[in-house]
Amino acid sequence: MPTKIAFIGFGGVGQTLAELLSKQREDLSEKYGLNYEVVAVSDVMKGAVYQPKGLNINRLLETVKETGNVEKYPDEEGLIKGWDSFDTINKSNANVIVEVTFTDVKTGQPAIDHCRAAFERGKSVITTNKGPVALAYRELAQLAEEKGAFWGFEGTVMSGTPALRMPITTLIGNNIYEIKGILNGTTNYILTEMEKGKSYEKALKKAQELGYAEADPTSDVEGYDARYKAAILSNYIMEAPLAAEDIPCEGISSMTEEQVQEALKNKKKWRLIARVKKDGKEVTASVKPELLDADDPLAGVTGATNAILYECDLAGPIMLTGAGAGLVETGYSLLIDLIHFGKGGQ
Ligand code: HSE
């Protein structure tokens, strides 16, 4: 039986996954036994189509490209248009919901309600939305488990760089007692541009032009984006139910060019560090600018690149560095989740 996929939200990330699925159809089937149909798309701006037998992905993507929405997808027998997200989750024959809606990370909505609705029906979810994992991990993970559903959220921390699955699967058997990382590309870009002499304002503007920053860059520069990611790491990797708002957080908005230059003179570098630490059973976390020695591996991470270092009792420090955002990278993170779903794994 092919996996039946419904996209809830169909912006850049969702469309990128759809493109990857279409391009890799044969490979996915041959290498991983993943056979699928995309049966539905429901997007508040772009409209909705549902075809229980499967939509033609290329036609779907062309329709969006040409008309800006899915409403003009050609009518055919069995096609239903206009279902909202909950109709699509509840009434379609999809067994995997790709939840990529535009979600308010402060409330986690509508993504949290979408995940809950899917799990209640035993349907699996893959998502890149941070809100459900940062704000409702315990409840949703428990519900998914009770209902035998899979929940993939690899892309919520460092997009397609496997910051979540790698420590759980590959570093299995270690006690990971500390995680520290550069988890926000915008602020790292700003800090490294300031090291080159650019002003804070100019560097932020450029980060926005390059598409690194969130729609409201407050979330980046005040450290909130990194704090959500620290909450995800605490909940998922350290198994400690830390709430995002309980993690002390300081951003980089009050940092001056003088501070950055002064650090360089002293062979140091400022980096916005998210830290999660386990001490016995107690887990604490923080997000704040830290002054690192210039030869610290995290100080060497420049531009919008992200990095994460896991302190392991057996393997020692393991560092992973890579993209933290980007359409292809984030679309790919969903593909990782989908392949793991297909293999019945973690
Ligand atoms: N605005 C985020 C960043 C994007 O700059 O890293 C990924 O969450």
Structural domain contains residue 94: yes
**Ligand 1 atom with minimal separation from the 212 CA:** 5
Is the pLDDT confidence value at 273 over 90? yes
Range 87-92 average pLDDT:
98
**C-alpha–C-alpha distance, residues 299 and 246, integer Å:** 27
Q: Are residues 9 and 148 in the same domain?
A: yes
Ligand 1, CB cutoff 6 Å, lining residues:
184-186, 212-214, 220, 225, 324-325
Q: Do 147 and 294 belong together in one domain?
A: no
The reply to whether 15 falls in a domain is yes
* Segment 45-68, tens digit of pLDDT: 999 999 999 999 999 999 999 999
Q: Could you read off the pLDDT of 109-136 as tens digits, one per residue?
A: 999 999 999 999 999 999 999 999 999 9
| Residue with the two structure tokens 């055919």 | 76
Parent domain of 125: 3-160+327-342
Euclidean distance between CA atoms 284 and 314, whole angstroms:
22
Measured in Å, residue 134 CA sits from the centre of ligand 1 at 15
For residues 234 and 115, membership in a common domain is answered with no
The mean pLDDT of 130-149, rounded to a whole number, is 97
Model confidence band, residue 211 (pLDDT cutoffs 50, 70, 90)? confident
Looking at the fold, whether 95 and 188 belong to one and the same domain comes out as no
- Mutating to test ligand 1, I would choose from 187, 210, 214 the residue with most ligand atoms within 8 A of its C-beta, which is 214
Best residue among 133, 184, 193 to mutate for probing ligand 1, ranked by most atoms within 8 Å of CB: 184
Starting from the edge strand earliest in sequence, which strands make up the sheet with 3-8, in order? 80-81, 47-50, 36-43, 3-8, 96-99, 124-127, 151-152
Distance CA 239, CA 83 (A): 37
Q: How far apart are CA 22 and CA 32, in angstroms?
A: 15
- 177 in the same domain as 155: no
Q: Atom 4, ligand 1: which residue's CA is nearest?
A: 325
Q: Tell me, what's the pLDDT at 344?
A: 86
Residue 329 near residue 156 (C-beta atoms within 8 A):
no
Which structure tokens are listed for 136? 């409702």
Same domain, 195 and 308: yes
State the total domains in the chain. 2
Q: For residue 79, what are its two tokens?
A: 């096609």
Sign of CA dihedral 153, 157, 161, 165: negative
Weakest mean pLDDT among 91-95, 102-106, 329-333: 102-106
Question: What's the CATH code of the domain at 35?
Answer: 3.40.50.720
Domain co-membership, 335 together with 300: no
Mean pLDDT of 134-147: 97
Residue-by-residue DSSP string for 218-261: HHHHTSHHHHHHHHHHHHHTS-----GGGS-B--STT--HHHHH
Which residue, by CA, sits nearest to atom 7 of ligand 1?
325
Q: Is the pLDDT of residue 345 over 80?
A: no
Q: Which of 129, 220, 321 to mutate to test the pocket of ligand 1 (most atoms within 8 A of CB)?
A: 220
Nearest protein CA to atom 8 of ligand 1, as residue: 325
How many Å apart are CA 29 and CA 9, to the nearest integer? 25
Residues 69 and 141 in one domain: yes
Residue 166 inside a domain? The answer is: no
Mean pLDDT score, 136-143: 97
**Which atom of ligand 1 lies at the shortest distance from residue 330's CA?**
7
Residue 24 belongs to some domain of the structure: yes
| Ligand 1 atom nearest to CA at 213 | 1
From the CA of 32, how far away is ligand 1's center (Å)?
30
Q: What integer pLDDT is reported at residue 105 of this predicted model?
A: 84
In angstroms, the CA 7 to CA 114 distance is 11
Q: pLDDT value at position 346?
A: 64
Residue 246 domain-assigned (yes or no): yes
Averaged pLDDT, 277-302 = 96
Residue 165 lies in a domain: no
Q: What confidence score (pLDDT) does residue 249 get?
A: 98
CATH code of the domain covering residue 231: 3.30.360.10
For residue 207, the ligand 1 atom closest to its alpha carbon is: 5
State mean pLDDT over 148-173: 97
C-alpha of residue 219 to centroid of ligand 1, in Å: 9
106 Cβ contact partners less than 8 Å away, ≥ 6 residues apart: 131
Cα–Cα distance, 4 to 124 (Å, whole number): 10
pLDDT digits (tens, 9 = 90+) for 2-43: 999 999 999 999 999 999 999 999 999 999 999 999 999 999
Q: Helix, strand, or coil here: 32?
A: helix
pLDDT for 103 equals: 87
- Band (pLDDT 50/70/90 cuts) for residue 216 is confident
Asked if residue 217 is part of any domain, the answer here is yes
Q: What is the pLDDT at residue 1?
A: 85
Distance 297 CA to ligand 1 centre (A): 21
CA of 234 to the centre of ligand 1 (A): 19
- Quick check: is 286 in a domain? yes
C-alpha 121 to ligand 1 mean position (Å):
32
Q: Both 92 and 113 in a single domain?
A: yes
From the number of C-beta atoms within 10 Å of its C-beta (0-12, 13-18, 19+), residue 279 rates as exposed
- Find the helix packing angle between 25-32 and 327-342, rounded to 10°: 40
And the tokens for 154?
A: 């690899």
306-312: strand order across its sheet:
282-293, 268-279, 176-182, 306-312, 316-322
Same domain? 283 vs 210: yes
Q: How confident is the model at residue 16, as a pLDDT?
A: 97
Question: Probe ligand 1: pick from 187, 225, 271, 287, max atoms within 8 Å of CB?
Answer: 225
| pLDDT band, very low/low/confident/very high, at 207 (cuts 50, 70, 90) | very high
| Residues 41 and 138 placed together within one structural domain of the fold | yes
305 alpha carbon – ligand 1 mean position (Å): 10
Per the CB < 8 A criterion, the answer to whether 144 and 285 are in contact is no
Residue 265: strand, helix, or coil:
helix
Alpha carbons within 13 A on the beta-carbon side of 16:
16
- The answer to whether residue 229 is catalytic is yes
| Whether pTM exceeds 0.75 | yes
Give yes or no: residues 310 and 332 share one domain: no
Q: Is the dihedral of CA 183, 189, 192, 195 positive or negative?
A: negative
Residues 4, 46, 123, 229: which is the catalytic one?
A: 229
